[in-house]
Amino acid sequence: MNIILLCSTGSRKGIMSELLIEKKQLIQLSTGDLFRHNISNKTELGVEAQKYMNEGKYVPDSITNGMVEDFLKSNNDNLIFDGFPRTENQALALDEMLKKLDSEIGKVFLLDVDDKILFDRLTGRLICPKCKRSYHKQTRKPKVEWVCDFDETELITRADDAPEKISTRIEEYQSLTAPLIQFYEKQDKLVKIDCNNKTIDEMYKQIEKEF
Ligand code: AMP
């Protein structure tokens, strides 16, 4: 079954994906990670995407949809769509792409978190550039300051986690992505997961129960 993690930035979709990969053997398609990979390899797509990401804005649908279509050539089942779709145009394109591959979306998990919690979480976020695990300066500290517990890589902060960029990203979500809640409700695929004041374990258990 293919699933979508629908949520605003900072909703712990990356951590939920890690757990789903480990426990349900799913494959992750993270458009944010694919863009960052293209940016570090300085590809044409990466150079173009970076202009938008640096501002906390969404990358245009034509670029994003093309990148996802490419990915689907090698995988089209047991996927976690992490950070895609984020606009109605992307959601319609995804339905079309999957239909052509005789596949579809099974469930859409809405990770629901208040904006204030998201903002606090993202301003303190630290990321391992190697394994992508995330930490928080106050609430999820690594054992050694600025060092990843798993592979000892030096942790970084993401350029788009600067406060003014976070606000833009949250606004983009409210205006462009939130309408997808109704889109998937109409398809009877939406499962709402209340993530306010929940531990990672509690969040995952709710997803697992509905899987
Ligand atoms: P994420 O790692 O999912 O928080 O994504 C980081 C950034 O990548 C976003 O703020 C956007 O600039 C860009 N991005 C990721 N996925 C998409 C998408 N589906 N559509 C447009 N832009 C995206």
Q: What percent of the chain shows pLDDT beyond 90? A: 90
Distance of alpha carbon 202 from alpha carbon 180, whole angstroms? 25
pLDDT for the residue 76: 87
The reported pLDDT for the residue numbered 9 is: 85
Tell whether ligand 1 has an atom less than 6 A from the beta carbon of residue 35.
Answer: yes
Residue 78 sits in a domain of what CATH number? Answer: 3.40.50.300
Mutate which of 6, 11, 16, 31 for ligand 1? The one with the most ligand atoms within 8 Å of its CB, which is 31
Instruction: Classify residue 47: in a domain, yes or no.
Output: yes
Catalytic residue among 12, 125, 133, 165: 125
Report the domain count for the chain: 1
Whether residue 184 is contained in a domain is answered as yes
Q: Which residues pair with 28 in a beta bridge?
A: 80
Tell me whether residue 45 is in a domain.
Answer: yes
**What integer pLDDT is reported at residue 132 of this predicted model?**
86
Residue 125 designated active-site: yes
Is there a domain that residue 10 lies in? yes
Assess if residue 194 is contained within a domain: yes
Atom 2 in ligand 1: residue holding the nearest Cα = 32
> What's the pLDDT at 105?
97
- The low-confidence residues of the chain, meaning pLDDT below 70, are none
Q: Cβ(10) to ligand 1 under 6 A? A: no
pLDDT number for residue 159: 87
- pTM (2 decimals)? 0.90
Instruction: Please write the tens of the pLDDT for every residue from 112-129.
Output: 999 999 999 999 999 999
Residue-number span of the structural domain to which 201 is assigned: 2-113+177-208
Q: Is 11 within a domain? A: yes
133 as an active site residue: the answer is: no
Is 169 noted as a catalytic residue in this protein? yes
Span 44-67, pLDDT tens digits? 999 999 999 988 899 999 999 999
